[in-house]
Amino acid sequence: MNIQISRRDALLGSGALVVSFSLAGALDQGLAQTAPKPVTLTAVDSFLAIDKSGTVTIYSGKVDLGTGVYTALQQIAADELDVPMSRIEMIQGDTLLTPDQGKTWASITIQVGGMQLRQAAAAARTALIDDAAKRLGVPTAQLTVTDGVISGGGKKVTYTELIGGKSFSIKLDPKQPVKEKDPKDYKLVGNPVARLDIPAKLTGKFTYMQDFRIPGMLHGRVVRPPAIGAKLESVDEGSIKDVPGIVKVVRDGDFLGVIAANEWAAIRGARELKATWSTAETLPDQAKLWDYVRATKVVKDEVTSNVGNTAEAMGKDGAKTLQATYDFAIHTHGSIGPSCAVAEFKNGKLTSWSASQATHALRGQLAQMFALPPENVRCIYVDGAGCYGRNGHEDAAADAALLAKAVGKPVRVQWSRADEHGWDPKGPPTLIDLRAAMDAAGNVTAWESEFFIPQAGPGGLDVPLTAATLAGLPQQPVPFPGNIFQDSAIPYKFANVKTVCHRLETTPFRPSWIRTPGRMQNTYANESFVDELAAAAGMDPLDFRLKYLDPSDKRGIELLQRLAQLANWQKRPSPQSEVSGNVAKGRGMSYVKYELVRTYIGVVAEVDVDRLSGEIRVPKFYVVHDCGQIINPDGLKNQIEGCVVQTVSRTLIEELKFNRSQVTSLDWESYPILKFPQVPEIIIDLIDRPTEKPWGAGEPAASVIPSAISNAVFDATSVRLRSIPFTPAKVKAAMQGS
Amino acid sequence: MAKSKLLNVNGKRVPVRYDDPQMPLLYALRNDLGLHGPRFGCGLGQCGACTVHIDGKAVRSCQTQIATVEPKQKIVTLEGLASGEKLHPLQQAFIDEQAAQCGYCINGMVMQAADLLAKNKKPTDADIKNALANNLCRCGTHVRIVRAVKRAAAA
Which run of H or of E encompasses A365? helix A359-370
On chain B, the residues whose CB falls within 8 A of the CB of A207 are: 36
Region A703-712 average pLDDT: 98
Q: Helix H segments across A155-262?
A: 159-163, 198-203
Structure-derived torsion over alpha carbons of residues B21, B26, B29, B30, reported in degrees to the nearest 10? -120
Nearest Cα neighbor of B121 from B154, B81, B83 is B154
Contact A338 B41 (CB under 8 A): yes
pLDDT at position A9, please? 32
pLDDT at position A499, please? 98
On chain B, the residues whose CB falls within 8 A of the CB of A338 are: 40-42
pLDDT at position A579, please? 74
Q: What share of chain A is helix, strand, coil (3-state, %, to 5)?
A: 30, 25, 40
Is the pLDDT reported for residue A490 higher than 70?
yes
Region A241-252 average pLDDT: 98
A316 touches chain B (CB under 8 A): no
Nearest to A208 among B24, B104, B141 (CB): B104
Nearest Cα neighbor of B111 from B48, B154, B33, B40 is B48
pLDDT at position A457, please? 79
Q: For residue A268, give how far its alpha carbon lies from the nearest alpha carbon of chain B (Å).
A: 9
pLDDT at position A36, please? 66
Using a pLDDT cut of 70, give the percent of chain A over it.
95
Distant-in-sequence, close-in-space partners of B130: CB < 8 Å, separation ≥ 6: A676, A677
Residue A331 CB-half CA count within 13 A:
29
Nearest to A201 among B23, B106, B132 (CB): B106
Query: Which of the residues B51, B102, B144 would you substitute to probe the A interface, choosing the one with the greatest number of A C-beta atoms within 10 Å?
Result: B102
Residue A709 CB-half CA count within 13 A:
32
Q: For residue B5, give how far its alpha carbon lies from the nearest alpha carbon of chain A (Å).
A: 17
How many angstroms separate the CA atoms of A450 and A176, rounded? 41
Number of CB atoms found within 10 A of residue A538's CB: 11
How many angstroms separate the CA atoms of A3 and A32, rounded? 9
> Chain A, 97-126: which have a CB under 8 Å from a chain B CB?
none
pLDDT at position A190, please? 98
pLDDT 10s digits, A654-689: 999 999 999 999 999 999 999 999 999 999 999 999
How many angstroms separate the CA atoms of A56 and A72, rounded? 15
Query: Which of the residues A196, A218, A336 would you substitute to probe the B interface, choosing the one with the greatest number of B C-beta atoms within 10 Å?
Result: A336
How many angstroms separate the CA atoms of A293 and A91, rounded? 43
How many angstroms separate the CA atoms of A530 and A592, rounded? 12
pLDDT 10s digits, A566-584: 999 999 999 998 777 899 9
The pLDDT confidence band at residue B1, using thresholds 50, 70 and 90, is: low
Contact A338 B31 (CB under 8 A): no
Contact A203 B19 (CB under 8 A): no
Number of CB atoms found within 10 A of residue B25's CB: 27
Global confidence as pTM = 0.95
Is the pLDDT reported for residue A2 higher than 70?
no
A80 neighbors A180 (Cβ within 8 angstroms): yes
Residue B58 CB-half CA count within 13 A:
25
Contact A202 B18 (CB under 8 A): no
Region A698-714 average pLDDT: 98
How many angstroms separate the CA atoms of B113 and B91, rounded? 10
A93 neighbors A64 (Cβ within 8 angstroms): no
pLDDT 10s digits, A362-382: 999 999 999 999 999 999 999
Range with lowest mean pLDDT among A4-18, A22-36, A241-255, B27-41:
A4-18
How many angstroms separate the CA atoms of B137 and A334, rounded? 10
On chain B, the residues whose CB falls within 8 A of the CB of A199 are: 95
How many angstroms separate the CA atoms of A68 and B100, rounded? 9
Comparison of pLDDT for A736 and A293, the residue scoring more: A293
Region A26-31 average pLDDT: 34
Q: For residue A160, give how far its alpha carbon lies from the nearest alpha carbon of chain B (Å).
A: 33
Taking CA atoms, A693 is separated from A60, A118, A681, A696, B28, in Å, by 20, 12, 30, 10, 50
DSSP codes joined into one string, A123-157 = HHHHHHHHHHHHHHT--GGG-EEETTEEEETTEEE
Region A620-633 average pLDDT: 98
- Beta-carbon pairs below 8 A across chains A and B: 175
Contact A66 B126 (CB under 8 A): no
Q: Helix H segments across A156-309?
A: 159-163, 198-203, 263-272, 289-295
Mean predicted lDDT score pLDDT of chain A: 94
Q: At residue A238, what is the residue type?
A: G
Contact A198 B103 (CB under 8 A): yes
A335 touches chain B (CB under 8 A): yes
Which run of H or of E encompasses A622? strand A616-626
pLDDT at position A1, please? 33
Nearest Cα neighbor of A726 from A738, A619, A712, A737 is A712
pLDDT 10s digits, A196-242: 999 999 999 999 999 999 999 999 999 999 999 999 999 999 999 99
How many angstroms separate the CA atoms of A371 and A709, rounded? 49
Strand partners, A298: A504
Using a pLDDT cut of 90, give the percent of chain A over it.
93
Q: For residue B59, give how far its alpha carbon lies from the nearest alpha carbon of chain A (Å).
A: 17
pLDDT 10s digits, A343-358: 999 999 999 999 999 9
User: What 3-state class would DSSP assign to A502?
Assistant: strand
Q: For residue A640, give how far its alpha carbon lies from the nearest alpha carbon of chain B (Å).
A: 9
Mean predicted lDDT score pLDDT of chain B: 97
pLDDT 10s digits, A49-63: 999 999 999 999 999
Nearest to A634 among B20, B41, B98 (CB): B98
Nearest to B101 among A337, A386, A644 (CB): A386
